[in-house]
Structures are given as C-alpha cells and as structure tokens.
C-alpha cells in the first residue's frame, strides 16, 4: 500500500483570493500542495488533465481572462533553511510556497547580503526564477545558486544550476523552452556574509538619508520597501500584477532615432541594445490615470494596470491591447506583456 498522503481535489473553486488582480474566476478543479510527500499522488493524476494544469504561487503575475478549465495546483510548501556556509557565503533554501518577502527579510535580519533590493516583491519563492524577478538594480539571478524541480512528464527530480536556467531580463528557461514542464520545489540562494551594497538606483541613497540612517543591508531593505509603497499599488487595496508590460529593448540605432524625437525618454544600456522606460512612453500617450469602468492605468505608475473592483480579465486585456497600439503608433515600439495571460 502507498504510504504517501493523497491530494484533496475541490471542484469549481473560486480563485478571487488567489490572484492579485482579484479576478472573480473559478478553477474547474483545485488542490494545494502543503508537503512534498503529496507529489507522488499529484504526479500520478496529472496525466488525466491533458496539459490543463496550472501551478500557482501568490498569483501576482497572472491575469485570468476566463475560468480555468483544468486543475489549478497552489504551491503551499513552507520552510527556510540554511543549508551550508563558509567564511564568505551562506546558502539559504526556501520552499516553493514560502512568501518571497518573508524569505528576503529572514536574510536581511541576519545581515546576509544580496536580496535586500528585492524587498517587498509579492509572490512566492517557487515563482521567483520563472521570470528572474528584479528591482532596484538587482535580479534574482545575481544570488541564485540552484533549484530543485520535478519533471511533470517523467516524474524525475532534477537540480538546475544557474548556467542551466538561461536567466535574462524577466525571463528564464522556465518561461520559454521548458515552459510548463517542471514544477519548482525549492530555491537555494548564495548570500554574502560581507555584503556589498547596491545603491546604484538613485532613489535608494536619497531615501536612506531621508530616513536618517547609514547604508546597510537593513537600511537598503527599508528604503526599497518605502519607495515601493509610495509608487506601487497594494494589491489588497487595488487589484494589479505589478508592471503589466516589460520595458522594451530596442537596437541602439532605433533608440537614437527615438531620442531625436523625444530627448527626455528615460533609457538604460542593455546587453543587446537599449532598454526604454515603458511607463514613460505609456504616460506620454496619455494613459496615466485612465479609467474605463473598473479597468484602469495606475495614477502614479503608468506601467501598472489596475482593477478598481469588478473589471474582468478581458477588460484589462483589451485595455492592454489599446495601450500596445498607441505606443506602437507614437514610438514605433512593440510592448510585450510581462504578466502571464491565461
């Protein structure tokens, strides 16, 4: 007899509390994984859904445009563990269902350096590698050490190290070649016991000074938290999924042409060209603060689309398509959604 616990599947489950856009949609079937011992049962059943299986962490990077006609699996495994250390580094592992910011603050409190700039990003540990989350001059990949995953096709457990993940700006192998093929179970970060702070983002030193503090892992975390609260809407108060679009990367030649017409456009050097501030372009097109029914564009950050209450996913998506069209007409640049549209 199999000693592994079974998963409990609920029919017709409301997902409103489980996506930060607050979309009032249902999953045909829903289950939660609270312990890895439930994986054999999950993996045994998964074949029946013919690919219609969605893993969900905090639901902060998804837009549901309809009910989900398959199985939604919410990852709720918990645990933070120091797995190894030497004089310079400490290796800290978080289980997939652990809240990202709780994990960051666990490290910040112990003065382990590397994640402080990523304070207050919503979502869970298990989703952080999917789009290689980033903010304030730092990306998850900078301290990523390895992750544990299980293949949904073969049930085989596999470790992925950094060079196998193809991390890029808001991208990884799990968003592209291996999309939907692996369930991420835990992620291990290599953090520094001799932190080198990254205060390249001008607002951080200014905020630390305004707080009357000196630069440290803790003060950077507090500054980032404060800056984020002043700009980004709290999903508990206003439905959103952070930046709806990625900042587009264009060739240096195209950038020079755009800059000739729009000398003020904020832009940053990128590996393969120049990254443009999509929020600035959307604002220039007149969308900032726009509202149609309950779908809108945040008044303090034009890159963030918001649900004032009862907007549907299709209303948000249709607004996104209008924004894409107008940015293309004005700047000749195609915006690409960052949010996973379902």
DSSP state of 49: G
User: Per rule CB under 6 A, is residue 26 in the interface with ligand EPU?
Assistant: no
Q: Using the rule CB under 6 A, is 283 a contact of ligand EPU?
A: yes
Q: Do strands 26-33 and 68-75 pair parallel, antiparallel, or not at all (unpaired)?
A: parallel
Nearest distance from C-beta of residue 249 to ligand FAD, angstroms: 16
Which stretches of the chain are DSSP H helices?
39-46, 100-109, 203-210, 217-231, 252-261, 278-284, 313-331
If binding is defined by CB under 6 A, does position 128 make contact with ligand EPU? no
Nearer to ligand FAD, 143 or 331 (CB): 143
> Is 153 among the residues known to form the active site?
no
For the CA atoms of 147, 204, 170, 17, what is the dihedral angle to 10 degrees? Answer: 80
Query: Does 277 sit near ligand EPU (CB under 6 A)?
Result: yes
Q: Given 29, 98, 116, 338, which residue is catalytic?
A: 338
| Structural contact between residues 35 and 59, judged by C-beta atoms closer than 8 angstroms | no
User: 296 is written with which tokens?
Assistant: 């809108």
* Interface size with ligand FAD, residues (CB under 6 A): 32
Strand 62-63 to 340-341 pairing: parallel
Residues 106-145 that bind ligand FAD (CB under 6 A): 121-124, 126-128, 130-131, 133-135
Query: Out of 25, 39, 46, 57, which residue is the one contacting ligand FAD (CB under 6 A)?
Result: 57
Residue 172 found at the interface with ligand EPU (CB under 6 A): no
Which stretch, 51-59, 159-167, 192-200, 306-314, contacts ligand FAD (CB under 6 A)? Answer: 51-59
Binding segment (CB under 6 A) for ligand EPU, from list 101-109, 178-186, 279-287, 329-337: 279-287
Output the DSSP codes for 186-200: EEEEEEESS------
* CA 89/CA 189 separation, integer angstroms: 10
Rounded Cα distance, 73 and 71, in Å: 6
Q: Which is nearer to ligand EPU, 239 or 242 (CB)?
A: 242
Q: Any contact of residue 59 with ligand FAD (CB under 6 A)? A: yes
Residue 266 interacts with ligand EPU (CB under 6 A)? yes
Q: Which of ligand FAD, ligand EPU, none is residue 280 near (CB under 5 to 8 Å by kind)?
A: ligand EPU
338 is an active site residue = yes
Packing angle, helices 217-231 and 203-210, rounded to 10? 100
Site string for ligand FAD, 163-202 (x = CB under 6 A): --------------------xx------------------
Residues 6+ apart with CB under 8 A from 6: 38, 41
Active site residues: 170, 243, 338
Question: What does the binding site for ligand EPU look like in residue numbers (CB under 6 A)?
Answer: 135-136, 231, 242-243, 246-247, 266, 277, 279-280, 283, 288, 301-303, 338
């Amino acid at each position: 007899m199999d000693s592994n616990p079974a998963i409990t599947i609920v029919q017709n489950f409301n997902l409103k509390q489980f996506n930060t856009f607050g979309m009032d949609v249902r999953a045909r079937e829903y289950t939660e994984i609270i312990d890895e011992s439930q994986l054999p049962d999950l993996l045994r059943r998964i074949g029946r859904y013919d690919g219609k299986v969605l893993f969900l962490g905090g639901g902060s990077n998804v837009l549901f445009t309809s009910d989900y006609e398959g199985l939604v699996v919410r990852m709720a495994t918990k645990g933070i563990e120091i797995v190894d250390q030497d004089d310079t580094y400490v290796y800290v592992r978080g289980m997939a269902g652990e809240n990202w910011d709780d994990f960051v603050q666990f490290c910040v409190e112990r003065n382990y350096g590397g994640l402080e700039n990523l304070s207050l990003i919503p979502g869970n540990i298990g989703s952080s590698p999917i789009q290689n989350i980033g903010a304030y001059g730092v990306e998850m990949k900078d301290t990523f050490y390895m992750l544990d995953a299980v293949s949904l096709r073969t049930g085989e457990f596999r470790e992925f190290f950094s060079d196998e993940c193809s991390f890029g700006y808001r991208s990884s192998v799990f968003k592209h070649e291996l999309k939907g093929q692996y369930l991420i179970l835990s992620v291990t970060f290599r953090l520094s016991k001799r932190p080198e702070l990254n205060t390249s983002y001008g607002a951080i030193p200014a905020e630390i000074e305004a707080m009357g503090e000196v630069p440290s892992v803790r003060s950077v975390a507090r500054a980032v938290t404060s800056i984020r609260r002043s700009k980004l809407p709290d999903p508990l108060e206003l439905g959103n999924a952070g930046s709806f679009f990625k900042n587009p990367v264009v060739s240096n030649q195209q950038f020079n042409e755009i800059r000739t017409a729009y000398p003020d456009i904020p832009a940053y050097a990128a590996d393969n060209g120049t990254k443009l501030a999509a929020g600035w372009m959307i604002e220039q097109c007149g969308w900032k603060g726009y509202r149609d029914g309950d779908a809108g564009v945040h008044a303090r950050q034009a890159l963030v689309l918001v649900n004032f209450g009862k907007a549907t996913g299709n209303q948000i998506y249709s607004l996104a398509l209008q924004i894409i069209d107008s940015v293309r007409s004005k700047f000749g640049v195609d915006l690409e959604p960052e949010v996973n549209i379902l």
